[in-house]
Structure 1
Amino acid sequence: MTPMDMLLSRASTDHLAEPAPNAAQLSDILAAAMRAPDHGKLRPWRYVVIEGDARPQMAERIVASMQRLDADAPEFKIEKRRNRFSTMPLILALGMHLRPENKIPLWEQEMAVAAATMNVLNALHATGFGGIWVSGDVVEDPVLAAEIGFPAPHKLAGFLFIGTPTNAPAAPRRPDPAAFTARWTGQPVTFAADKD
Protein backbone atom coordinates (compact mmCIF):
# COMPACT_ATOMS: atom_id res chain seq x y z
CA MET A 1 0.00 0.00 0.00
CA THR A 2 1.40 3.39 -0.92
CA PRO A 3 1.23 6.26 1.60
CA MET A 4 -1.52 7.82 -0.53
CA ASP A 5 -3.49 4.55 -0.59
CA MET A 6 -3.18 4.43 3.19
CA LEU A 7 -4.52 7.97 3.61
CA LEU A 8 -7.39 7.38 1.17
CA SER A 9 -8.40 4.11 2.83
CA ARG A 10 -8.59 5.40 6.42
CA ALA A 11 -12.04 5.39 8.00
CA SER A 12 -13.16 5.81 11.58
CA THR A 13 -14.61 2.79 13.35
CA ASP A 14 -15.86 1.99 16.82
CA HIS A 15 -16.06 -1.74 16.08
CA LEU A 16 -12.89 -2.40 18.04
CA ALA A 17 -11.45 -5.33 19.96
CA GLU A 18 -8.23 -6.26 21.69
CA PRO A 19 -5.41 -5.88 21.15
CA ALA A 20 -4.85 -2.18 21.47
CA PRO A 21 -1.40 -0.82 20.71
CA ASN A 22 1.16 -1.81 23.32
CA ALA A 23 3.27 0.85 25.03
CA ALA A 24 6.00 0.86 22.34
CA GLN A 25 3.48 0.97 19.50
CA LEU A 26 1.52 3.75 21.18
CA SER A 27 4.72 5.73 21.65
CA ASP A 28 5.43 5.50 17.92
CA ILE A 29 1.83 6.44 17.09
CA LEU A 30 1.99 9.48 19.37
CA ALA A 31 5.34 10.45 17.82
CA ALA A 32 3.35 11.05 14.62
CA ALA A 33 1.20 13.53 16.56
CA MET A 34 4.29 15.58 17.33
CA ARG A 35 4.68 16.27 13.60
CA ALA A 36 1.50 18.36 13.45
CA PRO A 37 1.71 22.04 12.44
CA ASP A 38 2.26 24.11 15.56
CA HIS A 39 2.59 27.87 15.10
CA GLY A 40 4.72 29.19 17.95
CA LYS A 41 5.89 25.70 18.98
CA LEU A 42 3.48 25.72 21.91
CA ARG A 43 2.85 21.96 21.66
CA PRO A 44 -0.69 22.28 23.07
CA TRP A 45 -1.58 18.61 22.69
CA ARG A 46 -1.77 16.36 25.77
CA TYR A 47 -2.74 12.69 25.94
CA VAL A 48 -4.10 10.66 28.84
CA VAL A 49 -4.08 6.88 28.36
CA ILE A 50 -7.08 5.11 29.90
CA GLU A 51 -6.96 1.33 29.88
CA GLY A 52 -7.71 -1.73 31.99
CA ASP A 53 -9.51 -1.09 35.26
CA ALA A 54 -9.38 2.68 34.71
CA ARG A 55 -11.97 2.39 31.91
CA PRO A 56 -15.02 1.71 34.15
CA GLN A 57 -13.83 4.47 36.48
CA MET A 58 -13.71 6.87 33.54
CA ALA A 59 -17.14 5.65 32.45
CA GLU A 60 -18.56 6.68 35.82
CA ARG A 61 -16.95 10.14 35.50
CA ILE A 62 -18.54 10.46 32.05
CA VAL A 63 -21.96 9.49 33.44
CA ALA A 64 -21.59 11.98 36.31
CA SER A 65 -20.70 14.67 33.78
CA MET A 66 -23.73 13.82 31.65
CA GLN A 67 -25.99 14.10 34.68
CA ARG A 68 -24.37 17.38 35.74
CA LEU A 69 -25.01 18.84 32.30
CA ASP A 70 -28.51 17.41 31.87
CA ALA A 71 -30.43 16.09 34.87
CA ASP A 72 -32.93 14.60 32.40
CA ALA A 73 -30.39 12.74 30.26
CA PRO A 74 -32.13 9.64 28.87
CA GLU A 75 -31.16 6.40 30.57
CA PHE A 76 -30.41 4.67 27.25
CA LYS A 77 -27.87 7.40 26.40
CA ILE A 78 -26.25 7.10 29.84
CA GLU A 79 -25.98 3.32 29.54
CA LYS A 80 -24.59 3.54 26.01
CA ARG A 81 -21.80 5.86 27.11
CA ARG A 82 -21.13 3.84 30.27
CA ASN A 83 -20.77 0.70 28.17
CA ARG A 84 -18.57 2.26 25.50
CA PHE A 85 -16.18 3.88 27.97
CA SER A 86 -16.01 0.66 30.03
CA THR A 87 -15.26 -1.70 27.17
CA MET A 88 -13.17 0.01 24.50
CA PRO A 89 -9.72 -1.61 24.38
CA LEU A 90 -7.94 1.70 24.96
CA ILE A 91 -9.13 5.27 25.37
CA LEU A 92 -7.01 8.33 24.78
CA ALA A 93 -8.30 11.53 26.37
CA LEU A 94 -7.34 14.44 24.14
CA GLY A 95 -6.28 17.46 26.12
CA MET A 96 -5.69 21.02 24.96
CA HIS A 97 -3.02 22.76 27.05
CA LEU A 98 -4.07 26.28 26.15
CA ARG A 99 -2.20 29.52 26.73
CA PRO A 100 -4.73 32.38 26.42
CA GLU A 101 -2.05 34.98 27.17
CA ASN A 102 0.16 33.89 24.29
CA LYS A 103 0.35 35.86 21.04
CA ILE A 104 -0.75 32.70 19.18
CA PRO A 105 -4.58 32.87 19.07
CA LEU A 106 -6.47 30.19 20.97
CA TRP A 107 -8.11 28.99 17.78
CA GLU A 108 -4.68 28.22 16.31
CA GLN A 109 -3.70 26.33 19.45
CA GLU A 110 -6.91 24.29 19.23
CA MET A 111 -6.32 23.60 15.54
CA ALA A 112 -2.85 22.27 16.35
CA VAL A 113 -4.48 19.76 18.72
CA ALA A 114 -6.92 18.76 15.98
CA ALA A 115 -4.10 18.34 13.46
CA ALA A 116 -2.15 16.19 15.92
CA THR A 117 -5.24 14.06 16.55
CA MET A 118 -5.64 13.45 12.83
CA ASN A 119 -2.02 12.34 12.72
CA VAL A 120 -2.80 9.85 15.50
CA LEU A 121 -5.77 8.47 13.56
CA ASN A 122 -3.63 8.11 10.43
CA ALA A 123 -0.81 6.45 12.41
CA LEU A 124 -3.29 4.01 13.96
CA HIS A 125 -4.50 3.04 10.50
CA ALA A 126 -0.94 2.75 9.16
CA THR A 127 -0.05 0.31 11.95
CA GLY A 128 -3.12 -1.91 11.58
CA PHE A 129 -5.18 -0.43 14.40
CA GLY A 130 -8.35 1.58 14.25
CA GLY A 131 -10.04 4.33 16.13
CA ILE A 132 -12.74 6.92 16.31
CA TRP A 133 -12.74 10.45 17.73
CA VAL A 134 -15.74 11.03 20.01
CA SER A 135 -16.80 14.22 21.72
CA GLY A 136 -20.29 15.24 22.80
CA ASP A 137 -21.52 17.56 25.51
CA VAL A 138 -19.18 16.19 28.20
CA VAL A 139 -16.19 17.66 26.37
CA GLU A 140 -17.48 21.10 27.37
CA ASP A 141 -17.67 20.18 31.07
CA PRO A 142 -14.85 21.98 32.94
CA VAL A 143 -15.36 19.71 35.98
CA LEU A 144 -14.70 16.57 33.94
CA ALA A 145 -11.74 18.21 32.22
CA ALA A 146 -10.23 19.10 35.61
CA GLU A 147 -10.87 15.56 36.94
CA ILE A 148 -8.81 14.19 34.07
CA GLY A 149 -6.02 16.75 34.45
CA PHE A 150 -7.04 19.74 32.36
CA PRO A 151 -8.17 22.53 34.70
CA ALA A 152 -9.24 25.79 33.04
CA PRO A 153 -8.04 27.40 30.87
CA HIS A 154 -7.15 23.95 29.53
CA LYS A 155 -9.86 21.84 27.92
CA LEU A 156 -10.81 18.49 26.49
CA ALA A 157 -10.91 18.01 22.71
CA GLY A 158 -12.62 14.64 23.03
CA PHE A 159 -11.58 11.02 23.31
CA LEU A 160 -10.13 8.49 20.90
CA PHE A 161 -11.43 4.94 21.19
CA ILE A 162 -8.60 2.70 19.98
CA GLY A 163 -8.20 -0.99 19.23
CA THR A 164 -8.08 -3.54 16.44
CA PRO A 165 -10.96 -3.27 13.95
CA THR A 166 -13.20 -6.34 14.18
CA ASN A 167 -13.85 -6.12 10.45
CA ALA A 168 -12.59 -3.97 7.63
CA PRO A 169 -14.45 -0.68 7.94
CA ALA A 170 -16.56 -0.04 4.90
CA ALA A 171 -14.97 2.79 3.00
CA PRO A 172 -17.44 5.61 3.36
CA ARG A 173 -18.44 7.38 0.20
CA ARG A 174 -16.31 10.48 0.14
CA PRO A 175 -17.35 13.59 -1.74
CA ASP A 176 -15.54 14.78 -4.83
CA PRO A 177 -12.88 17.30 -3.76
CA ALA A 178 -13.83 19.45 -6.77
CA ALA A 179 -17.08 20.42 -5.02
CA PHE A 180 -15.05 21.96 -2.17
CA THR A 181 -12.39 23.66 -4.28
CA ALA A 182 -12.45 26.93 -6.20
CA ARG A 183 -9.84 29.03 -7.98
CA TRP A 184 -9.65 32.64 -6.91
CA THR A 185 -9.31 35.12 -9.77
CA GLY A 186 -9.85 38.38 -7.93
CA GLN A 187 -13.53 37.96 -7.07
CA PRO A 188 -15.22 36.06 -4.21
CA VAL A 189 -15.48 32.37 -5.00
CA THR A 190 -18.43 30.01 -4.77
CA PHE A 191 -18.38 26.28 -4.15
CA ALA A 192 -20.45 23.56 -5.75
CA ALA A 193 -20.84 21.99 -2.28
CA ASP A 194 -22.72 25.09 -1.10
CA LYS A 195 -25.33 25.06 -3.86
CA ASP A 196 -28.72 23.65 -2.90
Structure 2
Amino acid sequence: MKRIFLLLMLAVFVFSCKNENKQTEKHIDVAQDMPDTEAVSYSSFGKEINDTDALSSKKMAAKFESMTIGDSINTKMIAKVDEVCQAKGCWMKVDLGNGEQAMVKFKDYGFFMPMDIAGKDVVLNGKAFVNEVPVDEQRHYAEDAGKSAEEIAKITEPKKTFSFVADGVLLKEE
Protein backbone atom coordinates (compact mmCIF):
# COMPACT_ATOMS: atom_id res chain seq x y z
CA MET A 1 0.00 0.00 0.00
CA LYS A 2 2.83 2.38 0.87
CA ARG A 3 4.45 1.58 -2.48
CA ILE A 4 1.33 2.47 -4.42
CA PHE A 5 0.99 5.69 -2.47
CA LEU A 6 4.64 6.62 -3.12
CA LEU A 7 4.31 5.82 -6.85
CA LEU A 8 1.13 7.87 -7.04
CA MET A 9 2.87 10.82 -5.32
CA LEU A 10 5.87 10.48 -7.62
CA ALA A 11 3.61 10.50 -10.70
CA VAL A 12 1.78 13.62 -9.46
CA PHE A 13 5.10 15.34 -8.82
CA VAL A 14 6.53 14.45 -12.25
CA PHE A 15 3.41 15.57 -14.14
CA SER A 16 3.09 18.78 -12.17
CA CYS A 17 6.72 19.68 -12.96
CA LYS A 18 6.15 19.06 -16.65
CA ASN A 19 3.04 21.27 -16.64
CA GLU A 20 4.96 24.00 -14.87
CA ASN A 21 7.72 23.84 -17.51
CA LYS A 22 5.21 24.05 -20.34
CA GLN A 23 3.71 27.18 -18.80
CA THR A 24 7.14 28.71 -18.46
CA GLU A 25 7.98 27.86 -22.06
CA LYS A 26 4.74 29.47 -23.24
CA HIS A 27 5.58 32.59 -21.30
CA ILE A 28 9.00 32.73 -22.94
CA ASP A 29 7.47 32.27 -26.40
CA VAL A 30 5.05 35.12 -25.77
CA ALA A 31 7.91 37.33 -24.61
CA GLN A 32 9.83 36.47 -27.79
CA ASP A 33 6.84 37.58 -29.89
CA MET A 34 6.80 41.00 -28.19
CA PRO A 35 8.28 43.83 -30.28
CA ASP A 36 11.73 44.98 -29.25
CA THR A 37 11.70 48.26 -27.37
CA GLU A 38 14.93 50.16 -27.51
CA ALA A 39 15.97 52.05 -24.42
CA VAL A 40 17.11 55.56 -25.23
CA SER A 41 20.17 56.92 -23.46
CA TYR A 42 20.78 60.63 -22.99
CA SER A 43 23.50 62.94 -21.77
CA SER A 44 21.96 65.62 -19.56
CA PHE A 45 22.83 69.32 -19.50
CA GLY A 46 21.44 71.96 -17.15
CA LYS A 47 18.37 71.17 -15.08
CA GLU A 48 17.51 67.46 -14.79
CA ILE A 49 14.63 66.68 -17.16
CA ASN A 50 13.07 63.66 -18.91
CA ASP A 51 11.61 63.12 -22.38
CA THR A 52 8.04 62.51 -21.19
CA ASP A 53 5.40 64.65 -22.94
CA ALA A 54 7.90 66.33 -25.28
CA LEU A 55 6.33 67.75 -28.45
CA SER A 56 7.70 66.77 -31.83
CA SER A 57 9.46 69.55 -33.72
CA LYS A 58 6.57 69.68 -36.21
CA LYS A 59 3.98 70.16 -33.44
CA MET A 60 6.19 72.84 -31.91
CA ALA A 61 6.49 74.53 -35.33
CA ALA A 62 2.68 74.74 -35.52
CA LYS A 63 2.60 76.33 -32.05
CA PHE A 64 5.29 78.85 -33.08
CA GLU A 65 3.32 79.73 -36.24
CA SER A 66 0.24 80.57 -34.15
CA MET A 67 2.23 82.89 -31.87
CA THR A 68 2.98 86.58 -32.39
CA ILE A 69 6.06 88.57 -31.39
CA GLY A 70 6.22 88.69 -27.60
CA ASP A 71 4.17 85.51 -27.00
CA SER A 72 5.78 82.73 -24.94
CA ILE A 73 4.91 79.29 -23.58
CA ASN A 74 6.59 76.84 -21.22
CA THR A 75 7.09 73.59 -23.08
CA LYS A 76 9.26 70.61 -23.90
CA MET A 77 10.21 69.59 -27.44
CA ILE A 78 12.30 67.09 -29.40
CA ALA A 79 14.33 68.39 -32.36
CA LYS A 80 17.41 67.76 -34.48
CA VAL A 81 20.37 70.12 -34.02
CA ASP A 82 21.31 72.09 -37.16
CA GLU A 83 24.10 74.32 -35.79
CA VAL A 84 25.97 74.98 -32.56
CA CYS A 85 27.97 78.06 -31.55
CA GLN A 86 31.54 77.22 -32.54
CA ALA A 87 33.00 79.71 -30.06
CA LYS A 88 31.90 77.85 -26.91
CA GLY A 89 28.61 76.00 -27.43
CA CYS A 90 26.52 78.83 -25.92
CA TRP A 91 23.63 78.53 -28.42
CA MET A 92 22.29 76.16 -31.04
CA LYS A 93 19.74 76.16 -33.83
CA VAL A 94 17.30 73.27 -34.13
CA ASP A 95 15.24 72.13 -37.11
CA LEU A 96 11.48 72.55 -36.73
CA GLY A 97 10.76 70.18 -39.62
CA ASN A 98 8.99 72.82 -41.73
CA GLY A 99 11.97 74.64 -43.23
CA GLU A 100 12.27 76.87 -40.15
CA GLN A 101 14.66 76.80 -37.23
CA ALA A 102 14.43 77.78 -33.58
CA MET A 103 17.33 79.59 -31.92
CA VAL A 104 18.09 77.96 -28.57
CA LYS A 105 19.97 79.71 -25.78
CA PHE A 106 20.62 78.36 -22.30
CA LYS A 107 19.06 79.91 -19.23
CA ASP A 108 21.41 82.30 -17.41
CA TYR A 109 24.35 80.92 -19.45
CA GLY A 110 24.14 78.11 -16.91
CA PHE A 111 25.51 75.44 -19.27
CA PHE A 112 26.84 74.94 -22.79
CA MET A 113 26.48 72.21 -25.37
CA PRO A 114 29.22 70.24 -27.14
CA MET A 115 30.15 71.95 -30.41
CA ASP A 116 30.06 68.75 -32.49
CA ILE A 117 26.40 67.73 -32.14
CA ALA A 118 24.95 68.98 -35.45
CA GLY A 119 22.61 66.27 -36.77
CA LYS A 120 21.88 64.81 -33.33
CA ASP A 121 18.53 64.74 -31.53
CA VAL A 122 17.88 66.75 -28.37
CA VAL A 123 15.03 67.18 -25.93
CA LEU A 124 14.65 70.80 -24.79
CA ASN A 125 12.79 71.99 -21.72
CA GLY A 126 12.06 75.66 -21.12
CA LYS A 127 10.35 78.69 -22.63
CA ALA A 128 9.50 79.01 -26.32
CA PHE A 129 8.81 82.47 -27.70
CA VAL A 130 8.67 84.56 -30.85
CA ASN A 131 10.85 87.64 -31.09
CA GLU A 132 12.48 90.01 -33.51
CA VAL A 133 16.26 89.78 -33.71
CA PRO A 134 18.09 93.00 -34.60
CA VAL A 135 20.68 93.08 -37.39
CA ASP A 136 23.70 93.38 -35.09
CA GLU A 137 22.62 90.33 -33.06
CA GLN A 138 22.02 88.28 -36.22
CA ARG A 139 25.49 89.22 -37.45
CA HIS A 140 27.02 88.22 -34.12
CA TYR A 141 25.41 84.75 -34.36
CA ALA A 142 26.53 84.41 -37.98
CA GLU A 143 30.09 85.23 -36.91
CA ASP A 144 29.90 82.66 -34.06
CA ALA A 145 28.70 80.09 -36.57
CA GLY A 146 31.75 80.71 -38.76
CA LYS A 147 29.87 82.35 -41.65
CA SER A 148 31.87 84.25 -44.26
CA ALA A 149 32.11 88.07 -44.32
CA GLU A 150 29.96 88.01 -47.49
CA GLU A 151 27.19 86.05 -45.73
CA ILE A 152 27.33 88.35 -42.71
CA ALA A 153 27.12 91.48 -44.90
CA LYS A 154 23.86 90.18 -46.44
CA ILE A 155 22.13 90.52 -43.06
CA THR A 156 20.45 93.92 -43.34
CA GLU A 157 17.01 93.65 -41.71
CA PRO A 158 15.60 92.57 -38.34
CA LYS A 159 14.14 89.07 -38.50
CA LYS A 160 11.16 87.44 -36.81
CA THR A 161 12.52 84.31 -35.17
CA PHE A 162 11.35 81.37 -33.15
CA SER A 163 13.38 81.14 -29.97
CA PHE A 164 13.79 78.88 -27.00
CA VAL A 165 15.48 79.46 -23.64
CA ALA A 166 16.30 75.99 -22.34
CA ASP A 167 16.79 75.27 -18.65
CA GLY A 168 17.54 71.60 -19.39
CA VAL A 169 18.63 69.62 -22.43
CA LEU A 170 18.91 65.91 -23.12
CA LEU A 171 21.30 64.87 -25.89
CA LYS A 172 20.44 61.50 -27.42
CA GLU A 173 23.45 59.17 -27.29
CA GLU A 174 24.13 56.85 -30.21
Q: When the two structures are superposed, what TM-score results if normalisation uses the length of structure 1?
A: 0.26
Higher strand share: 2
Q: Which structure is larger by alpha-carbon Rg, 1 or 2?
A: 2
Higher helix share: 1
Q: When the two structures are superposed, what TM-score results if normalisation uses the length of structure 2?
A: 0.28
